[in-house]
Chain A
Amino acid sequence: MSDLRILAAVLAVAAVTYAMRSGGFLAASAMPQHGLLPRLLRLAPGNLFVAFAAAGILEGGWPSLAGCLGAVTAMAVTKREWAALGGGFAAAALASALA
């Protein structure tokens, strides 16, 4: 690698990213198994999905909305992730071409 400063940046960002990935898991070890926090964690995924999707659609516009509808429809019908991905990409590409 041509520059040690670049290597330092890579290592620093990698350390932070791994700390985020492992930190929640390790911190949760010290957490009680019952109570409000475990309840919140159980309820979190669907809500996180929706918030993530809403922000993504806002950023991506109509093609993203069409792609999301295509993915949800394909998933609901086929129950297969690969079909949902294909349906989503196809709908987004079609909406992009028509826009």
Chain B
Amino acid sequence: MPFTTAGLRRGLLAGLPFILSNGVAGIVMGVAYRGLGLDFAAAVLFSLLVYSATAQAVVLGLWAMPPPIAVMMLACAATNARYLVMGAHLRQFFTDVPRRVMLPILALLGDASWFMTVAEAERGRRDAGYLLGCSLPMASGWIGGTALGHALPLRPHGPLAGAAAFRPLVFVVALLPTQWRGPRSLVPWAVSAAVGLAVASSLGPSWAMLIGGGAGTLVSALRGDDV
């Protein structure tokens, strides 16, 4: 069964730097929640149960009292639609892992843990333990950071906000070399980048990954890059 304690340990070690980077982002989120007037319990519960920087950022943008729950749900579905693709992609690596094991782990699925788990699997080390292992420090950083940010007398501006905003981008880019399939990656990647930029300028960055990446993937498939 591709769920091992060795994988869990390896994932935990690989995810350790994210305690710091997710922690900084979580602090910014906690400060923002305090600014909205949410109490400590509500702020921590948001990061604990939702655990999604994009979903929580969208909710922040839509916040009002009473909260427009239907609009928030719709916006979160749209901005997190990429998780559908990520989850479907993970399925092909973990067909032999029981759902009772995978479904709780998926509650902690994030961009970084997905990228890292896919990169591991493509190096021949598919392991749901790794997904759980690297997700735990990420979630701890995010939730702990939110709590700290709410408790500390900080303001959501300056270098702290800058570092937090850059965080999702840097880990994705760090894993880019693992996906390079040689010169045949050039054309689909150029299409992904061009469509991603066009979508980000028109519909917003949330859709860029899904539509831009989808266009590049289609080009890869039509060219037969995987055969």
Contacts and interface: CB of A to CB of B under 8 A. Distances in A.
Given A8-B69, A56-B168, A47 B189 contact: yes
Given A16-B73, A56-B205, A92 B39 contact: no
B84 to A, nearest CB: 4
Interface residues on B, range: 35 or more
A48 interface: yes
Interface residues of A, number: 73
B179 interface: yes
A98 interface: no
Interface stretch (B1-9, B48-56, B144-152): B48-56
Interface string A27-54: 1110101001011111111111111111
B152 to A, nearest CB: 20
A51 B166 contact: no
Contact of B49 (A14, A27, A41, A50): A14
Given A49-B172, A49-B175, A54 B196 contact: yes
Nearest to B65: A5
Interface of A: 1-3, 5-29, 31, 33, 36, 38-60, 63-64, 67-68, 71-72, 74-76, 81-82, 84-86, 88-89, 92-93, 96
B90 to A, nearest CB: 6
Nearest to A79: B177
Interface in B58-110: 59, 65-67, 69, 72-73, 76-77, 80-92, 95, 99, 102-103, 106-107, 109
A94 to B, nearest CB: 12
